[in-house]
Amino acid sequence: MRSKHQISSHFLKVIFLLLILGCSASPRKSMRSRRPCKEMVFYFHDIIYNGKNFKNATSAIVGAPAWGNHTILANNNHFGNVVVFDDPITLDNNLHSPPVGRAQGLYIYDKKEIFTSWLGFSFVFNSTAHKGSINFAGADPLMNKTRDISVIGGTGDFFMTRGVATLMTDAFEGEVYFRLRVDIKFYECW
């Protein structure tokens, strides 16, 4: 009669072998090319409400820590502020260029020690060139010259796309206005 140790050892070997065979026999696609299937560049312009610019504001503080308020970003790297936005998207860096869509979502300032935020937003298009949306999410370490966030899906012309968006702060005017250049590389296109 075999010992429990021998049975356990044989059982583990069989499981390991089945796992290896299952992984190698699965119908996986070969390693994908690291070149993007589509690239796009847009600019989005954020004008934060400061208590005086209601007509021009495209974003507003909707959550603030106890020491903050809803018209001025909090101290300590804006930690605790939640901002929602509905910003125009343009093809160039001119705020007054015709918008091709809207950037809609939120950013959360999520660290006390470092000026950083977490982003969750969509580019919503409704033009002759593009219809649908591109969805983004990720950490945005604002002090870095360029930052990458994930393209996590889309609709319409961008159905189920995935990839990377490289953000670069293109202009910054105090606590009221900033412009981001968004260089999008899709690695899954349908």
pLDDT digits (tens, 9 = 90+) for 37-57: 999 999 999 998 888 888 999
What pLDDT does residue 142 have? 82
Q: Please provide residue 4's backbone torsions phi and psi, each rounded to the nearest 5 degrees.
A: -60, -35
CA separation, residue 103 to residues 19, 25, 42, 164 (Å): 44, 43, 10, 16
- Banded model confidence at residue 135, pLDDT cuts 50, 70, 90: very high
In the chain, % of residues over pLDDT 70: 78
- Banded model confidence at residue 6, pLDDT cuts 50, 70, 90: low
What pLDDT does residue 18 have? 45
C-beta separation of 89 from 100 below 8 A: yes
90's CB contacts (< 8 A; 6+ apart) are 42, 43, 44, 45, 97, 98, 99, 100
pLDDT digits (tens, 9 = 90+) for 62-75: 888 777 766 666 66
